[in-house]
Amino acid sequence: MSGNTFGTRFKITTWGESHGPAIGVVVDGCLAGLKLDISDIQKEVDRRKPAKNSKVSTTRREKDKVEILSGVFEGKTTGMPISLVVFNKDTRSKDYSKIKNLYRPGHADFTYDIKYGSEFRDYRGGGRSSGRETLARVMAGAIAKKLLKEREKTQIFGHTIQVGSIKAKTFSKSFIEKNELRCADKKAAKEMQKLIEETRFKEGDSIGCIIEIIIKNPPKGIGHPVFDKLDADLAKAMMSIGSVKGVEIGSGFEAGTKKGSENNDQMSSKNNKIEFLSNNAGGILGGISTGEDIVIRLAIKPVPSISKELKTITNKGKNTKIKTLGRHDTCLGPRIIPVAESMAAVTILDKIL
Amino acid sequence: MSGNTFGTRFKITTWGESHGPAIGVVVDGCLAGLKLDISDIQKEVDRRKPAKNSKVSTTRREKDKVEILSGVFEGKTTGMPISLVVFNKDTRSKDYSKIKNLYRPGHADFTYDIKYGSEFRDYRGGGRSSGRETLARVMAGAIAKKLLKEREKTQIFGHTIQVGSIKAKTFSKSFIEKNELRCADKKAAKEMQKLIEETRFKEGDSIGCIIEIIIKNPPKGIGHPVFDKLDADLAKAMMSIGSVKGVEIGSGFEAGTKKGSENNDQMSSKNNKIEFLSNNAGGILGGISTGEDIVIRLAIKPVPSISKELKTITNKGKNTKIKTLGRHDTCLGPRIIPVAESMAAVTILDKIL
Amino acid sequence: MSGNTFGTRFKITTWGESHGPAIGVVVDGCLAGLKLDISDIQKEVDRRKPAKNSKVSTTRREKDKVEILSGVFEGKTTGMPISLVVFNKDTRSKDYSKIKNLYRPGHADFTYDIKYGSEFRDYRGGGRSSGRETLARVMAGAIAKKLLKEREKTQIFGHTIQVGSIKAKTFSKSFIEKNELRCADKKAAKEMQKLIEETRFKEGDSIGCIIEIIIKNPPKGIGHPVFDKLDADLAKAMMSIGSVKGVEIGSGFEAGTKKGSENNDQMSSKNNKIEFLSNNAGGILGGISTGEDIVIRLAIKPVPSISKELKTITNKGKNTKIKTLGRHDTCLGPRIIPVAESMAAVTILDKIL
Amino acid sequence: MSGNTFGTRFKITTWGESHGPAIGVVVDGCLAGLKLDISDIQKEVDRRKPAKNSKVSTTRREKDKVEILSGVFEGKTTGMPISLVVFNKDTRSKDYSKIKNLYRPGHADFTYDIKYGSEFRDYRGGGRSSGRETLARVMAGAIAKKLLKEREKTQIFGHTIQVGSIKAKTFSKSFIEKNELRCADKKAAKEMQKLIEETRFKEGDSIGCIIEIIIKNPPKGIGHPVFDKLDADLAKAMMSIGSVKGVEIGSGFEAGTKKGSENNDQMSSKNNKIEFLSNNAGGILGGISTGEDIVIRLAIKPVPSISKELKTITNKGKNTKIKTLGRHDTCLGPRIIPVAESMAAVTILDKIL
C-alpha cells in the first residue's frame, strides 16, 4: 500500500517526478476494442497545461508530448495494460540550494522528510509531491472518459464557481472552455481574473477557489452499500488531488443547515419515466447512483508558493525565512479541473467494469 | 469489491441487517497482546445508543449487548481475527406493508432496488442500509481507539458544531459528553436542543448539522504521497457513513476564499521543538501527517424520515405520497460522532500497523 | 493483509479458534436472488465431518450446526454479506498443560510463537491453526458451489488417488462418496483403508496421500494473463489449506519429463464444435480457462500428531520429547476434499462475478 | 483485478508486449535509501538472456538495455515508485500471416481470443503472453533481491534438477552459473545438454524440466495463518510464471507417500540455538517461515513451439496443421530460474515491509 495505484478493475498506477526523466502511468483493465489514438490523450493533457501568456499560471513550458508504449495494437486497445509516458524537457537546471534544506510552508517537504528521511528526498521542483504528478492522472483519465462516453454516454466536466469571495452566478456551459479560469459566468470570470492578477502582481500572494465537477448521465446503480459507497470513493479520489481541502456531494455542507422536508428529493413518475423533483442528493442515495447528475464541489487551497516572506525552519531545525520565487501558479482550480474530471471518470469506470 | 470491508492491515468486515438476527464485525489485523474486555467495546456501543427519554433520537430500545466470539484468549488479543456480534432484540414485528413497495425519499430503497432487484430487498427497518449498520463500525472502532491510545497516545473525539443555523461559539471539552447533543458550548447546546424539539414536535420535520472530529496527538509521517493520502482515506472513511454529504480537513472550504499568506502554516523551532504557527492544514501536508491535531468536519443531512407528507412512487412506478411515522431520529449528528471517531481510528491504525 | 480474507469479488473472511466459542465466515459478494437454505450448507459441512466409528479420522464429535445470521431474506440471498456461524460444543476441557509450553513437530506452534509472541497463543486444540478453521471455508464453499452449479452448470468434486504407495487405478465416480476414503477405485480403497488402520493402530503413526480435484464444465475465458492466472490463483487457494505441500495442474510434474509433441494438446473441430485431443494443460492455457475440465492434484502431508515419541523443545528452548495422544486424524486427504472443492469453487466464482 | 500487479506493499506492475515498443515495470513500495545502480538491474536481466551461440535457447538477440525513469535520486531510492523500461529492438518485421489466424497448440492464442475477442489480439511474437513479459519481473526482482540481501542477508538462487528423465545427483553451488543449464551437477549437466540438443536438432521437439529455488536465510515469522500463508503466496507467484505446471514446497509430493514419523521435522536446542533435525517442511510451518531454508520445486512444461507438425484449428474453426518454426527455446527451465528467483524475492519482500 504505497499509494501510487488507484482503482481495482480499471486500475491506474502513476510514477515520475517533477524534474526526473519522465512522468507516466500504467492503465490496467481497459476493455479490448476501444479505438485509441494519441490525440485522444494529448487533447486532455493539453487542457491541463497553463495557457500561453497566462497571468494565472506557471510559466514553465512543457510540450508534454504523450507516448503510448503498450496495450494498443492497430489503433485499438487489446485489454492489456496501457503504458503512457511523457518525457520531461523543461527541467531548467536551476539552483535548488536555497530550498534543498528548508521546509516551504504549505508544501510536503517536511512530511516527506519525516516519512522517508531527509537525506533521500528529490527536492527538485517538489519531486514526486509536485502537481506535475497529476499529468499522469489526466493521461489515464482521458482513456476513462473516452470509454465512459462511448459505452455509457456519460460526460464529465468541471467549472470554477468561486475565487476568493467572487462567486459565479450564471451558467453558460459553452463559455467554460473559452476562458482560462474555466468559469461558466462571463462577468464573474472577468472579476476573478482581475482578483488573481492583483493578488499575484500587487501582493505577491496566491488565492484559493472552489470548483464543481458534474457527471452527466452517469450509469445507474453503481457504488456499494457500506464502505465502498460511490460518494465515499469519489471523496477519496478528489481528496487525493493535491491542494483539495474539502469535498461535498449534492447539497453538501448546506445540508447541515436544512430541514428534512427541504433536503429530501421527492419523486414522481410521468409516462413511465421516473423523475426526482430536486437533486440535493447529488445523484447518490445510500452510496449508489440514482442516475441523476452527480454533483461534486471541491475546495482548493491557495497555492503555497508565494513571494511574501514567511517563517520556516531548515531540516536541521534552525529558524529561517523564505520567499518562494519561481514559475508558480496563483490559483490552481482551473488547472485542477481536468485532473478532477479524470479522477471522477476513473472512479466511475472502476465501478462498472 | 462488495464494499463491506474497510482497511488493509487493520481490516474490518461488517455484516447484518436492521431487523435480521444479528449485527457483527470481524476485525482482522489487531496486534497480539492487547488487553481487551467486553466493557472496552460495550462502553463505546453505549455511546452510540439513543439517550433514555431522548427528544432528539429514536425510541427503539436495544440492549446492544456485545459478544466476543474469537481472537481473544485469557483477556488478551491473540493476533487472530476478532469476531464481535450483537443479537437484535427489539425488532418489533411491525407492519411493513406500507413501505415495502414504495421508495422513501432520501432513503436507499430506490437505489438498492435498481442494483439488486426489487424482489430481494430486506425492507424491514431499511435492512442493510439502516443506520444500525454503524453499530458494527463502533465495535471495531472501540478496539482501534484502545490500541491507538495505548500504543501511540492518540485520542479521538468529536463534537457538534452546528445544528441548522445555530453554531457553537465556545469550547468546553468536558461538557461534550455531558449533553445529548455532544456540543462543547453549553449555551448553544440549549438552543440546538430547543430547535430540534420544535422541528420534531411542532413541524414533524428533521434537521441537519455539522460535526467536527479531532485526532489529538496523531502518529507523525503516516499516509502516502499520491492516491492513498491520509486525508483522502479519511474522506472516504467519513463519506462512507450514511447521511454525510461533505467532508473538510483543516481550513476546508474556507481555504477556497483565502490567500496563500493566510492559509500557509508557518513554522518555527524553539528549544529543538518544531512548531507550526497555525493549523490550516488540519495536520496533513502532501497527504502525510505532520503530528499536529488532525481536524475533520462533516456535514450531516437531516434525517429523511419525517412526518410531513412527501411525493414519491411505488416500485411499480405509480405516483403516491408518504409520511414516515415511527421511531426515528431527528438530528443524527450526535449519534454519528462515535461512528466517525471509529472510522477515524480505524483509518489511522490501518496506516501504522 | 492479515490473511483471513480470500477473494475480491466473492470475498470470504473467516474467524474462530478450535476451542473458542464459535467458528464463522462472512461471505461478501454473493449475488442477490440465490435460493439458500441452511440445508444447502449443512450437507457440505456434514461431508467434512469424520465418519461415525471412523478408523481413519478423529473421534471429536461436533454437531457442527450451521446458523445464518445475515444476508438471506425470505429464503433468498439479498446481495448483502452472509454471516455463517457454527458454535463449538465438544471442546472437551482437557488438560493442555502438556503441550502448552512445547512445540509439536510438524505443527504451527513454533511459528505462531515467533510471529505473535509465545505469551498470547491460544494453544487449545491448535487454536486458529487447527484444521477446524476449514469448516468456515466449507460453509462459504457450499454457497459458491451452489451458485456455480445454478449459474454456470459447473460441478466440482474430488477423490483420493494415492495413500502411501497405493494408487487408485480405476475410476468409478459414483463410488467416491460411498467410501470414507473418497477413493474412486473400490479395490484400492480397501487397500488404502487397511494401510491406514495398520499405520494407526500398529505403528501409532500417520500417512500422507494425494488427492485430485476436478472442475467439470468450468466457465471459459476466466483468469488473467500475467500474475492473476487462473492456475496461479488455484495454486494459492489450494496451498493455503493446511497440510498441502504440493499443487499441480494438468500433466503437472510429469510435464517436466515430457516432450513438446507429447504435452501439447492438439485441437480439432467437428461440426463447429472445438475439441482438444488431450488435456495435459488441465483446462488452462496462458492462465485462462479453455473450457476443458480443470484438473488439480494436491500432495497432503501425513498428520503431524502421532503416538510415536519425537524430539522437540519447549518454548524456553529446553530439549524434551513428545507423543501426541488424542483424537487425531491419521490420513487427512478424504476430509480435505470438501475443503479443496470449496476453495476451487470460491476461486472460480471470484473470477466470474 | 486485471492481473498485471503483484504484491501489496512491495507492489510491481508490469506492461508491454513482445513486439511492442517496450517492456516495463513500476515498482511501488521500495524503501528509501537503497543504493541502486543500473548495473544492479542489468546484471539480472543479462542472466535471463539466452547464452551466446546457445543450442538450448532462442536466437533472438536483444540488448535488453535497462533504463530507470523515476524513483532514484543521486544513486539512491527515494521511496517513490521506480519505473524501469527496456525498449524492444530486435522485433524482426517477420511475416505473421501464418500464425495470425490459427491457434498454436500449448499457447495462449485460443484463450486470449475467447476472453478478449479475436479481432484485437496482438499476435506478433505472442504479444503479452510471450515469455518476454518475464523480463519485467526480473527487473523488479533485481531490486527485491538487493534489498533482501542488504536488509535481511537473505539470498535466493535456483538450479535445474531434472531435464526429461535425467536428474542431477550431486550439488556444486559454484557450478550453477558456470553452465547454460544452471545445473549444479557437472555430469548431469552434460547429459542434459546432449538430450536437449538431440531433442531439438534430431527430433525438432522440445523438452520439460524441473527446477529448484532455494531461499537461504529467509526472515523468520513471515506469512499469515490462513489464506495468505507464505507457501500459498509463493505457490501463486511461481504458478503465475508461464509454463509452470506444478509447485511443491519441502518434501512436496513425496509427503503424500510418507509417514508422520518420517515427515515431521524434529527439533532440538544446542547452546541456545534452535535446530530442526530435517527440513521436510521446506522452511514453512502453518504458513509462516521457520527461518530454515525455503525450498521450492517447479515443473516446467516443454516449450510448445516445435518443428513437428501438429493438428490445430483456425480462429474460424477450420481444421489445419501447424509447424512452429522460428527462434524458439527448447528447454525453458534455465531461463526461468532468474524469473522464479525474482518472484520469490518479491513475495518475501512484500511480506516484511
pLDDT in tens, B58-85: 777 779 999 999 999 999 999 999 999 9
- Mutation site for C-interface testing, chosen from D247, D270, D348 by largest number of C Cβ within 10 Å: D247
D93 pLDDT tier (thresholds 50, 70, 90): low
pLDDT at A57: 78
User: Looking at CA atoms only, how far is residue D246 from chain A in angstroms?
Assistant: 26
pLDDT in tens, A234-251: 999 999 999 999 999 999
pLDDT at A22: 97
User: Looking at CA atoms only, how far is residue D145 from chain C in angstroms?
Assistant: 19
- Given a cut of 90, whether residue B118 has pLDDT beyond it is no
Taking CB atoms and an 8 Å limit, are B286 and A129 in contact across chains?
yes
Q: Which residue has the higher pLDDT, B119 or D255?
A: D255
A8 touches chain C (CB under 8 A): yes
pLDDT at B98: 77
The predicted model gives D147-171 an average pLDDT of: 98
**What number does CATH give the domain B8-352?**
3.60.150.10
Query: Chains with 3 or more CB pairs closer than 8 angstroms to B?
Result: A, C, D
D274 touches chain A (CB under 8 A): no
Q: Any idea which of B297-301, C271-275, D79-83 has the lowest mean pLDDT?
A: C271-275
Taking CB atoms and an 8 Å limit, are C306 and D236 in contact across chains?
no
DSSP B35: B
Q: What percent of chain A has pLDDT over 70?
A: 98
Separation CA A186–CA A315 (nearest Å):
46
- Given a cut of 90, whether residue A324 has pLDDT beyond it is no
Taking CB atoms and an 8 Å limit, are A116 and D69 in contact across chains?
no
Taking CB atoms and an 8 Å limit, are A15 and D78 in contact across chains?
no
Beta-bridge mates of residue C122 = none
Tell which residue, D245, D210, D213, D217, has the closest CA to residue D231. D213
Chunked mean pLDDT (size 10), chain C, 353 residues: 90 96 97 97 95 77 92 96 93 73 94 92 91 97 98 98 98 97 98 96 96 98 97 98 98 97 96 93 98 98 95 94 83 97 98 92
DSSP A70: S
The predicted model gives A275-281 an average pLDDT of: 97
pLDDT at C247: 98
pLDDT at D53: 77
pLDDT at B326: 67
Q: Which residue has the higher pLDDT, A219 or C125?
A: A219
pLDDT in tens, D209-266: 999 999 999 999 999 999 999 999 999 999 999 999 999 999 999 999 999 999 999 9
CB nearest C225 (choices: A8, A80, A225): A80
User: Which residue of chain A comes nearest to D29, CA vs CA?
Assistant: A2
The predicted model gives B155-165 an average pLDDT of: 98
- C residues 224-263 closer than 8 Å to D (CB): 224-229, 231-240, 242, 245-263
Question: A-chain residues within 8 Å CB-CB of C80?
Answer: 225
- Reply yes or no on domain D5-352 having CATH 3.40.50.2020: no
Separation CA D142–CA D234 (nearest Å):
17
A1 pLDDT tier (thresholds 50, 70, 90): low
ipTM of the assembly?
0.97
Separation CA C86–CA C68 (nearest Å):
9
Question: A-chain residues within 8 Å CB-CB of D80?
Answer: 4, 15, 17, 122, 127-128
- Contact criterion met (CB below 8 Å) for D134 and D339: yes
pLDDT at B235: 98
The predicted model gives A142-167 an average pLDDT of: 98
The predicted model gives D294-308 an average pLDDT of: 96
Taking CB atoms and an 8 Å limit, are D206 and C260 in contact across chains?
yes
C128 touches chain D (CB under 8 A): yes
pLDDT in tens, C49-100: 988 778 777 777 779 999 999 999 999 999 999 999 999 987 665 677 778 8
Taking CB atoms and an 8 Å limit, are A225 and C80 in contact across chains?
yes
- Mutation site for B-interface testing, chosen from C12, C15, C31, C66 by largest number of B Cβ within 10 Å: C15
pLDDT at B30: 97
Average pLDDT, chain D: 94
Taking CB atoms and an 8 Å limit, are C311 and D225 in contact across chains?
no
For cell 474412486, what's the residue?
A: C184
- Given a cut of 90, whether residue A341 has pLDDT beyond it is yes
- Given a cut of 70, whether residue B91 has pLDDT beyond it is no
A343 pLDDT tier (thresholds 50, 70, 90): very high
B319 touches chain A (CB under 8 A): yes
pLDDT at B285: 98
- Given a cut of 80, whether residue A119 has pLDDT beyond it is yes
Question: B-chain residues within 8 Å CB-CB of A277?
Answer: 311
B53 touches chain A (CB under 8 A): no
A353 touches chain B (CB under 8 A): no
B70 touches chain D (CB under 8 A): no
- Mutation site for C-interface testing, chosen from B6, B38, B120, B123 by largest number of C Cβ within 10 Å: B120
Question: B-chain residues within 8 Å CB-CB of D80?
Answer: 225
- Contact criterion met (CB below 8 Å) for A146 and A346: no
pLDDT at B5: 97
D23 pLDDT tier (thresholds 50, 70, 90): very high
pLDDT at B171: 98
Domain spans, chain D: 5-352
pLDDT at D221: 97
Using a cut of 0.95, tell me whether the model's pTM lies above it.
yes
- Given a cut of 70, whether residue B201 has pLDDT beyond it is yes
The predicted model gives B103-112 an average pLDDT of: 95
pLDDT at C110: 95
pLDDT at B50: 86
Instruction: Tell me the residue ranges of DSSP E strands in chain D.
Output: 5-6, 11-16, 22-28, 66-68, 72-73, 76-77, 82-87, 155-163, 166-167, 209-216, 244-249, 267-270, 273-276, 284-285, 288-289, 294-300, 310-313, 319-322
Angular region, D278: left φ>0, alpha ψ -120 to 50, beta rest: beta
Instruction: Establish, for the pair of chains C and D, how many residue pairs have beta carbons separated by less than 8 Å.
Output: 379
The predicted model gives D38-48 an average pLDDT of: 97
A69 touches chain D (CB under 8 A): yes
Q: Encode C126-140 in three state secondary structure.
A: HHHHCHHHHHHHHHH
pLDDT at D220: 97
A100 pLDDT tier (thresholds 50, 70, 90): confident
Helix axes A230-239, A333-352, angle to 10 degrees: 140
Q: Which amino acid appears at position B349 of this protein?
A: L
